[in-house]
Amino acid sequence: MGASAYESERAEERREERKTVRQVGDLVDRGLADRSEREVLERVAERFSVAITPDLVDLVTPGDPADPIGLQFLPSKRELRILPEERVDPIGDDPHTPVKGITHRYPDRLLLKPVHVCPAYCRFCFRREKVGPGSEVLSSDELAAALAYVRRHEQVWEVILSGGDPLILPPRKLAEITRAIAAIDHVKVLRVHTRVPVMDPGRITAELVEALRGRTTAWIVLHTNHPRELSPRAREAIARLVDAGIPLLSQTVLLRGVNDDAKTLEALFRELVVLRVKPYYLHHGDLAVGTGHFRTSIEDGQAIARTLRRELSGIAQPTYVLDIPGGYGKVPIGPSYLGPEGEDGRRVVEDPAGREHVYPPRGGDGR
C-alpha cells in the first residue's frame, strides 16, 4: 500500500471513530458493551433509543461497569425491568398539551418542544418513550400553531425550549424560532434546556450563539450530572455562551451509582460555579419506564442535600425537587430545619452542623 493510500485509509478510520455510535454491535466492537450481552442489549435498543457521541465516548472507561459516563449513556439489561409504579409519561406532559409541541403546566411559562431528537440518549430520560431517531420534528404548520398559542396567552412571560434537545437544530432554524418568540411582546424570557455543551460541544458555534441572542432575555439551563462531563471541550463551549452574555444555570438528576454521594455533587457544583454556571435544580429521579436502578430514596437525597448545605457556598446550592407524577408540578423536597411553633411562640431550628437552637432566643438583649 502506498503512503497516500495508507493516509487516506487512516483518515477514513478516524472519521468512523468520530461518528456517533448508535448500534449495539458497534458498542461491542469498541469495547463499550459486553459481547455476551449483545442479544439482550439489542432488545433494550428496540424499545429505547441508543446514541453516544464521540465526545462522550472519549470520557468512558471501557470495561468499567461503574463508570459514571457509561452508566448514563450505555444501554443496560436492567432497563428491561419495568416496575409497577413506572410511567410512560412520568411527569404528566400529555394532560397539559393543548397544542402539539406545547406543554403548558404553569400559568406564566410553558414548554415549546420543536424537536424530539438528542445528540445522545440518557438511559434515565423521562421522555425516553418519545425521543429518538424517527421522532417527530414540528412541521412549519405545527410550529406556527404552537407560536400562535403563545401569542393568544398573554400571561405567558417565559418560553422554555425543550424536547429533545433544541440546540441540535441548525442555527438558522433555531434563529427563526427565537426571532418569532422575540416578536411576541408579552414573552420577556427565553429559557433553553440542553445537554449539547457536554454531549456535543462542537455544536456551540458562533452562529448558534448568535441565534440565541436577541430582544428577549435568553437563559441556558445546562443538564450535567458528573464532574467528568466537564471536559476541556465542554468548558470551552460553556465559556462561549457565557462570554456572549448568556447566563447559565444547571440542572442535575440524582442518580444511583453516578452521583448519589455528596462529594461527587460538591465537586460538580463547585466546578460549575467556577465556570460561571449557577446550580439550579437537583432532581429526584422520575418514574420513567425501566429506570428503577437509577432512583435513590428521598431520604437518601435529603441526607445528601443536608451535607451540601453544610459544606457548600450558597451560590453553589441547587434546590432538591420532585416532579409530582401526573403533571402536578415540581416541589422542593429538601430537608427541613425548622420545628413546629410551640405554645410560647418559639421554635427549634437546626443549624447546618446539626445543632438545635431556640428561635427567638430566650433572654435576648432587647430593652
Chain mean pLDDT for the chain: 93
Concerning whether 286 is annotated as a catalytic residue, the answer is yes
User: What does the DSSP 8-state code read for residue 101?
Assistant: T
Of the candidates 113, 127, 130, 195, the residue annotated as catalytic is 127
The pLDDT value given to residue 135:
65
Asked if omega into 318 is within 30° of 0 (cis), the reply is no
Q: Which residue has the cell 437563559?
A: 219
Mean pLDDT confidence for 6-22: 58
Would the pTM count as exceeding 0.85?
yes
| pLDDT-above-70 percentage for the chain | 93
Concerning whether 18 is annotated as a catalytic residue, the answer is no
The pLDDT value given to residue 254:
98
CB-facing half-sphere around the CA of 22: CA atoms within 13 A: 8
User: What does the DSSP 8-state code read for residue 112?
Assistant: E
Helix intervals (H) in the chain: 3-17, 24-29, 38-47, 54-57, 68-73, 140-152, 171-182, 196-199, 206-212, 232-243, 262-274, 298-311
Domains of the chain in start order, with CATH, are: 17-80 (no CATH), 94-332 (3.20.20.70), 342-367 (no CATH)
- Residue 363: pLDDT band (50, 70, 90) is confident
- Residue 156: pLDDT band (50, 70, 90) is very high
The pLDDT value given to residue 12:
40
CA dist 90 and 135 (Å) reads 19
The neighbouring-strand residues paired with 321 are 283, 332
Lowest-pLDDT range of 7-11, 87-91, 257-261: 7-11
Query: What is the CB neighbour count within 10 angstroms for residue 292?
Result: 18
Of the candidates 93, 125, 128, 228, the residue annotated as catalytic is 125
Of the candidates 30, 87, 330, 347, the residue annotated as catalytic is 330
- Residue 357: pLDDT band (50, 70, 90) is very high
Residue type, 45: A
Concerning whether 149 is annotated as a catalytic residue, the answer is no
Largest CA distance in the chain: 96
Concerning whether 127 is annotated as a catalytic residue, the answer is yes
- Residue 9: pLDDT band (50, 70, 90) is very low
Of the candidates 22, 26, 100, 106, the residue annotated as catalytic is 106
CA dist 106 and 286 (Å) reads 19
Q: List pLDDT tens digits, range 234-281.
A: 999 999 999 999 999 999 999 999 999 999 999 999 999 999 999 999
CA dist 150 and 157 (Å) reads 10
Asked whether the beta carbons of 165 and 132 are under 8 A apart, the reply is: no
pLDDT at 10 over 50: no
pLDDT at 130 over 90: no
Q: What does the angle CA 95 – CA 99 – CA 103 come to, to the nearest 5 degrees?
A: 50
- Residue 364: pLDDT band (50, 70, 90) is low
Q: List pLDDT tens digits, range 295-339.
A: 999 999 999 999 999 999 999 999 999 999 999 999 999 999 999
Of the candidates 22, 30, 100, 109, the residue annotated as catalytic is 109
pLDDT at 14 over 70: no
The pLDDT value given to residue 101:
95
Q: Which residues contact 238 (CB under 8 A, 6 or more apart)?
A: 197, 222, 230, 248, 275, 276, 277
Lowest-pLDDT range of 49-53, 88-92, 177-181, 222-226: 88-92
Of the candidates 118, 128, 195, 280, the residue annotated as catalytic is 118
| pLDDT-above-90 percentage for the chain | 88
Concerning whether 151 is annotated as a catalytic residue, the answer is no
Concerning whether 118 is annotated as a catalytic residue, the answer is yes
DSSP states of 303-352: HHHHHHHHHS-GGGPPEEEEEETTTTEEEE-PPP-BPPP-TTS-EEEE-T
CA dist 12 and 29 (Å) reads 17
Asked whether the beta carbons of 309 and 352 are under 8 A apart, the reply is: yes
H helix or E strand, kind and range, residue 277: strand 277-283
Of the candidates 67, 89, 200, 286, the residue annotated as catalytic is 286
